[in-house]
């Protein structure tokens, strides 16, 4: 990990709890990571692992009653957790922007695309309508939208999914954010469009100098895009580290299992693709020990009493697993080279 003195976003021990049946349930537990300038960090996990909740908590967008966010998230030294709503609003859409999963429903259906991008620009900068529209059209053009001036005058339902996601990214970039949080930006799109959108995200580092926090459940997307990766399981961190290391030598059995469940691009295909047996525990029924314990092939007595702490493995890699510290690390993956053509 390049040891920057002050990372752009520094999240420490972030916890998100919601009340249910009289007690607080922790959806996200002690998540820590940082994002440096012009870096793409991947946040990976199954559905319900707390990826989106983490992102929403950073943006202050969780509005379910009684929700509690604790820990610390410093953006350029400013504490985001517990920030005054007005100050947070200035950051949202300005310095920190977000792209959502489903471009089909993420635009208000009764306004044109251009109107909605103009609205964001004018919410953060004092600009005339005409100037805002000029920037909107330029942004759409940069995102590779054909005939941007006319597209700006169209309604969301008149555009294809790919165009809508481009418009969404254009809107997110409209105020030159330093951090872009992309919540499964390609999940709702078909594969060719997905590749184009990922290209676009990768290009942002150079064209806009933006960092990206990419939330996804797709290991392939992570491999193609992210310099560092954070694996979440049941609201807790399972493993984090540089993507290449993580893919070559996963230290947590969960990471290894996730990687194993991707069909290999090269070499012989397995007769049956290995799947992780069972389902992730709901936050209410999380076991006392390692949350992955019930599904883990390596589970043994030391895993059960308490969740294993994050242990440094070396070269910026950390894993919440007892195996490396017990001197029995997982074997390196044979397919690691094939994963990154």
**1, 18, 38, 61: which one binds another protein (CB under 8 A):** 61
For another protein, the closer of residues 181 and 200 by Cβ is 181
**78, 108, 176, 282: which one binds another protein (CB under 8 A):** 108
Please provide the size of the chain in residues: 341
Span from 90-98, 127-135, 206-214, 276-284 in contact with another protein (CB under 8 A): 90-98
**171, 223, 232, 257: which one binds another protein (CB under 8 A):** 171
Helix (H) or strand (E) holding 8: none
- Is 120 within 8 Å of 89 (Cβ atoms)? no
Q: Establish if 155 lies at the interface with another protein (CB under 8 A).
A: yes
For another protein, the closer of residues 96 and 145 by Cβ is 96
Nearest distance, CB of residue 118 and another protein, angstroms: 11
**41, 43, 59, 322: which one binds another protein (CB under 8 A):** 59
Q: Report DSSP letters for 220-236, one per residue.
A: HHHHHH-SEEEEEETTE
For another protein, the closer of residues 118 and 239 by Cβ is 118
Nearest distance, CB of residue 340 and another protein, angstroms: 33
For another protein, the closer of residues 75 and 233 by Cβ is 75
Nearest by Cα to 283 from 5, 3, 29:
29
**1, 38, 46, 94: which one binds another protein (CB under 8 A):** 94
Q: How many residues bind another protein (CB under 8 A)?
A: 31
**35, 43, 53, 91: which one binds another protein (CB under 8 A):** 91
Span from 36-44, 56-64, 199-207, 284-292 in contact with another protein (CB under 8 A): 56-64
Q: Report DSSP letters for 156-170, one per residue.
A: GGGS-HHHHHHHHHH
Burial annotation 70-89 (CB, 10 A radius, 16+ → b, else e):
ebebbbeeeebbebeeeebe
Span from 115-123, 134-142, 193-201, 311-319 in contact with another protein (CB under 8 A): 115-123
SS3 44: strand
Dihedral Cα 162, 164, 167, 168, nearest 10 deg? -100
**75, 107, 233, 247: which one binds another protein (CB under 8 A):** 107
Residue 204 and residue 61: Cα distance in Å, rounded? 24
- Is 226 within 8 Å of 40 (Cβ atoms)? yes
Q: Establish if 33 lies at the interface with another protein (CB under 8 A).
A: no
Alpha helices in the chain (DSSP H): 51-59, 85-91, 113-124, 129-142, 148-152, 161-173, 191-207, 219-225, 243-248, 253-260, 336-339
Distances (CA, A) of 283 to 11, 19, 101, 291: 21, 12, 23, 10
Q: Establish if 139 lies at the interface with another protein (CB under 8 A).
A: no
Q: Which residues bind another protein (CB under 8 A)?
A: 59, 61, 63, 65, 89-94, 97-98, 100, 102, 105-112, 119-120, 123-124, 155, 157-158, 168, 171
């Amino acid at each position: 990990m390049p040891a920057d003195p002050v990372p752009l976003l520094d999240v420490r021990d972030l916890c998100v709890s919601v009340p249910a049946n009289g007690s607080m349930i922790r959806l996200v537990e002690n998540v820590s990571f940082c994002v440096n300038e012009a870096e793409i960090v991947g946040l990976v996990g199954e559905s319900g692992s707390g990826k989106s909740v983490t992102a929403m908590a950073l943006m202050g967008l969780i509005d379910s009653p009684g929700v509690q966010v604790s820990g610390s998230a410093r953006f350029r030294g400013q504490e985001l957790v517990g920030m005054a709503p007005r100050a947070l609003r200035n950051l949202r859409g300005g310095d920190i922007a977000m792209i959502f999963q489903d471009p089909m429903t993420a635009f208000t259906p009764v306004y044109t695309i251009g109107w909605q991008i103009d609205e964001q620009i004018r919410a953060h900068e004092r600009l005339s309508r005409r100037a805002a529209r000029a920037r909107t059209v330029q942004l759409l053009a940069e995102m590779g939208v054909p005939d941007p001036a006319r597209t700006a005058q169209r309604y969301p339902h008149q555009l294809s999914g790919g165009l809508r996601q481009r418009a969404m990214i254009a809107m997110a970039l409209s105020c030159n954010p330093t951090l872009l949080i992309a919540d499964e930006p390609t999940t709702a799109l078909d594969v060719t469009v997905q590749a184009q959108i990922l290209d676009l995200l990768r290009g942002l580092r150079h064209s806009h100098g933006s960092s990206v926090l990419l939330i996804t459940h797709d290991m392939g997307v992570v491999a193609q895009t992210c310099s560092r990766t954070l694996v979440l399981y049941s609201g807790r961190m399972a493993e984090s580290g540089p993507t290449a290391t993580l893919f070559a030598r996963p230290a947590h059995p969960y990471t290894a299992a996730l990687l194993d469940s991707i069909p290999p691009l090269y070499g012989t295909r397995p007769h049956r693709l290995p799947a992780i047996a069972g389902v992730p525990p709901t936050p209410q029924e999380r076991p006392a020990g390692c949350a992955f314990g019930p599904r883990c092939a390596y589970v043994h007595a030391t895993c059960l009493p308490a969740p294993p702490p994050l242990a440094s493995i070396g070269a910026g890699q950390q894993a919440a697993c007892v195996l490396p510290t017990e001197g029995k690390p997982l074997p390196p993956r044979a397919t690691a080279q094939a994963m990154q053509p």
